[in-house]
Structure 1
Amino acid sequence: MLNHRCDLWLLATFVFSTPAVQAALPEAPPEFAWAVQAGGKSHDKTRGLTVDTRGNVFLTGEFVGTSQFGEHTLTSAGAMDFFIAKCDSNGKFLWARSAGGSGTDRGYGVATDAAGNCYVTGHFQSTNATFSGVAVPNSGDYDIFVAKYDAAGRQLWVRTAGGKGYDYGHGIAVDARGNVFVTGALVGEGAFGDLRITAAGGAHVFCARYDSDGKLLWARTAEGRASNSGHGIAVDGAGNAYIGGYTGGAGTLGGLALTNATGRDVLVAKLTPDGIVAWVSEGHGSTNALAHEITCDRAGNVWASGMFKGLLKLADRTVTSHGDNDLFLTSFDPAGKRLWTRTGGGPRVDYGLGVATDGA
């Protein structure tokens, strides 16, 4: 669908304003409809945000101690707890929920379905963590969690996965039927429900699919001794999943080769609804690179945003950063062919952290 048009919004963090970036910015500053804050006297951080079809905003992240979300107060059970909160379209907090235990527990990704349910993923270190009174087992170090809440903030289910390594869920997406897709990293041997997985070497990117009731349908991981990870995930109208992240060396994903020789390369991959890896695209660079977020339209056209330093080769296009890390935005068709790439930045650190389409 090369003629399919979508307008894009790219969310980026510019640590320093630079001429290269300023040239692309509009002259008039944006007008904010509203702004709200939440938190307490200690560490509070939002790591994931999404908006449902009614304009409600969902936030997830972590907090320490006592934090205020409008009229709703959360108190952590230990060192750091995960939170999920909902605002209406006018910025009023409707509810806030937390979970965790005595260790460090974080929320990373959040998604919604057409019915207004929200889904969140992250990781938890606590051996005594509870989610709305439900005790969850920890297999060692950090484990992955996936939880579902209804529109009123009632927890419907929670699932965990992982092993004895530093495992995390980072990105989450939901298809039209309520199937949930999660990506992140698994270190060493671990389990998704009754499915045992061995990931030799360092961290390995995974993609898992659950149905709307939390039943695990399948899980796939990369193979090899190199480290790689999934950060962003999106689902098209046919139920295909697209993951963005990085590869840290040679290996395979669903039988397809990962050929990175040095550093960290950009990873973009497509999986069918049955978990078959349809294609893998790598962006080879001279040093660390990462696809931090990914989105797609219903037809399967894909956009990925992230960062790179030095040289980065995406298919037939090679780009060079202006100094330190630069941001990039790149596009693929449903078959994995790169369509175009844009970059921005200056001599300092610039990241591409999010990307979304308007559906036009």
Structure 2
Amino acid sequence: MMGTEFGLHFVPVASGPRTATVTVTYNTSRSYTFTIQGRGRDNAVISPNLTVATERTYGRRTQSSLIGAAAADSGGNLYFSQNVTQWSDNFSSNIALARMNTDGTLAWQREWNEQFMQRQPDPGQNAEAGGGGNSVAMGPDGSLFFVGNRSLASTNNTFQGLVARVDPATGNMLWARGILRGTTPSPSLANQGVEAYAVDATLADRVIVAGAAGNGGILLAALSKTDGSLLWGRQLQLTTNGMQSRAHSLAVDAMGNGYLGGFTGDAGTATLIRVTGLNSTAPAVAWSKTVGIGRGGNINHLALDGAGGVVASLDYRGATTQLGVARFSSTGAVLWGRIWDAMNSGDNNNSYAVSVSGASVYLGGRVAIAPFDTTAGEGFAMRVGLADGAWQWGAFYYTGKTTTTISEHRVKAIIPTASGLLVLAQGFPGMNNENHYSGLWYQTTNEGTMFPSGTGSMRLANAVTAGMLMVTDRPAVSLEPLLFVQSATQMHPGTAHVINTSMIWGAPPADVTFVPPAERTANNG
């Protein structure tokens, strides 16, 4: 009698003893049952804090996207953005915006498509991801906005600061404006342009926009929610050496006070600025700080703390990067600062998103910890106490590290809702991994080679005492009118030009899909 040989691969997805029962049926009615036992090679523990209820992948399978930011309405519907290439434009990048309903279905999707480059710029300046955490905003009144850069020529070095209001129910464009220094709609000089990085829709009658002005200063502007007309435009010269400063993030309270977070060119690191009177015609700078987090560091997302202060995502740059978060008072004092995995030796630890809910702060980003994927990095989520930055829990999104499972993930938004967390992430499968998009949420570890490997709490460090967060006062500065100074007698005011979007804002190609990861794999698309 001839026998049949077969092989069996037992691959537990978590550590600890795992038992599987195998039943072999033969001769129609006879069977043989046996058990096998093993454990995962890496000391991975499924996260007890995050359980996926709905998971979707979005995009065009043959092209990459750089994920921007997200906002949610009171019903739990999610609105998110991304920079896309070779959707409707085979050469330059476009901006896409979509809505996911609470049941995980796609309500609508739109793409801003013009001849030249449109994008939400990466605060890290490396095009590793899309726009910063404040590049999409929803107001208490349900109004939806996004910002970005709109190129005016094939050179792609002169930009309008794009500000757009979208109907959240339909995705239709309500209005769009392009902010410039001066009155010329399409100037030839790059220093007449501006870049829009952040938007806040908290105030009832206006939307506040922040970014970079072409003269090296920071952009700050207020536009009418009704039609996008420019209520006022300002520029803030932090530096005297001509080096570019930028506001990458923005948070405004209901009384018209706000914070700008970004990068200052003279110090070459992050800055935090408090402004007042954003609900008036006379905004003013209360104070500005240099937030020393290393060369190239910046603040890429801000969230109000509910007590007059602000929580910041600290984007450490350079050969060794960090996952960093800090809370500041209304006077600019550091209430606490934290970094996670301070002893890492690579550049795969990156912070992108912060949010505040009750007595907790959430931080989202990317992490690389051994013995897991230290090449591409995993999505990262952490919760600490609002009052003191104390550890609560941490998790990472891991797909594996073989050639057919490795995938990079970056968490770009964490939005707490009444029913759980809405998490937006950017994912890139590896070169030989075209069909494996998703993974599992695992508990962060204290030490990767021991079992049990801990919760990750021991990797949380005080950024201030570690010398990795140093805040100093900056010289007093004032907001100036948004002007293009052509000569001593020719000073042109800033303008928010009306953009006709009838041929610009539309549906993306039909093969852009929004499906569960398993369906994308099964359909190979």
TM-score (norm 1): 0.71
Larger radius of gyration: 2
Change (3 A) 1:26 1:36: closer
Are residue 183 (structure 1) and residue 210 (structure 2) matched? Answer: yes
Deviation (angstroms), 1:227: 1.6
Deviation (angstroms), 1:235: 1.0
Structure 2 equivalent of residue 300 of structure 1 = 308
| In 1: Cα distance, 2:315 partner to 2:172 partner | 37
Matches within 5 A, 1:9-24: none
Q: Is the 8 A contact 2:140 2:202 kept in 1?
A: no
| In 2: Cα distance, 1:64 partner to 1:265 partner | 30
Q: 2:229 aligns with which of 206, 212, 215?
A: 215
Matches within 5 A, 1:280-295: 280-295=288-303
| In 2: Cα distance, 1:116 partner to 1:304 partner | 24
Structure 2 equivalent of residue 38 of structure 1 = 58
Change (3 A) 1:327 1:205: farther
Matches within 5 A, 1:91-102: 91-102=104-115
Change (3 A) 1:330 1:28: same
Match of 2:331, SS? coil
Are residue 344 (structure 1) and residue 340 (structure 2) matched? Answer: yes
| In 2: Cα distance, 1:78 partner to 1:62 partner | 13
Matches within 5 A, 1:215-254: 215-223=229-237, 224=240, 225-249=242-266
| Identity of matched residues, % | 22
Match of 2:102, SS? coil
Deviation (angstroms), 1:289: 1.5
Q: 2:82 aligns with which of 58, 61, 67?
A: 61
Code of the residue aligned with 2:139 in structure 1: it is D
Q: 1:334 aligns with which of 330, 333, 340?
A: 330
Deviation (angstroms), 1:143: 2.0
Q: Is the 8 A contact 2:117 2:156 kept in 1?
A: no
Higher relative contact order (CA 8 A, sep 6+): 2
Count how many residue pairs are aligned between Structure 1 and Structure 2. Answer: 280
| In 1: Cα distance, 2:357 partner to 2:49 partner | 21
Q: Is the 8 A contact 1:105 1:126 kept in 2?
A: no
Match of 1:101, SS? coil
Q: Is the 8 A contact 1:181 1:241 kept in 2?
A: no
| In 2: Cα distance, 1:324 partner to 1:140 partner | 30
TM-score (norm 2): 0.50
Deviation (angstroms), 1:354: 1.0
Structure 2 equivalent of residue 357 of structure 1 = 356
| In 2: Cα distance, 1:340 partner to 1:232 partner | 19
| In 2: Cα distance, 1:290 partner to 1:227 partner | 13
| In 2: Cα distance, 1:167 partner to 1:327 partner | 29
Code of the residue aligned with 2:69 in structure 1: it is G
Q: Is the 8 A contact 2:320 2:345 kept in 1?
A: yes
Structure 2 equivalent of residue 125 of structure 1 = 151
Q: Is the 8 A contact 2:271 2:299 kept in 1?
A: yes
Are residue 114 (structure 1) and residue 140 (structure 2) matched? Answer: yes
After superposition, the C-alpha distances for 1:136-193 in whole angstroms (9 at most, x for unaligned) are xx99622210000122212111111136327421111111414211111122xxxxxx
Q: Is the 8 A contact 1:100 1:124 kept in 2?
A: no
Deviation (angstroms), 1:291: 1.0
Deviation (angstroms), 1:290: 1.0
Change (3 A) 1:26 1:309: farther
After superposition, the C-alpha distances for 1:289-339 in whole angstroms (9 at most, x for unaligned) are 1111111144422111122369xxxxxxxxxxxx71112211111222221
Q: Is the 8 A contact 1:267 1:280 kept in 2?
A: yes
Q: Is the 8 A contact 1:120 1:172 kept in 2?
A: yes
Q: Which runs of 5+ in 1 are unaligned?
A: 1-24, 67-74, 129-137, 188-198, 250-259, 311-322
| In 2: Cα distance, 1:88 partner to 1:298 partner | 28
Structure 2 equivalent of residue 153 of structure 1 = 171
Q: Which runs of 5+ in 2 are unaligned?
A: 1-44, 121-130, 182-188, 360-525
What's the Cα RMSD here? 2.6
Code of the residue aligned with 1:248 in structure 2: it is G
Q: Is the 8 A contact 2:84 2:96 kept in 1?
A: yes
Q: Is the 8 A contact 2:150 2:178 kept in 1?
A: no
Q: Is the 8 A contact 1:81 1:98 kept in 2?
A: yes
Deviation (angstroms), 1:26: 9.0
Q: Is the 8 A contact 1:139 1:162 kept in 2?
A: no
| In 2: Cα distance, 1:184 partner to 1:96 partner | 26
Q: Is the 8 A contact 2:309 2:328 kept in 1?
A: yes
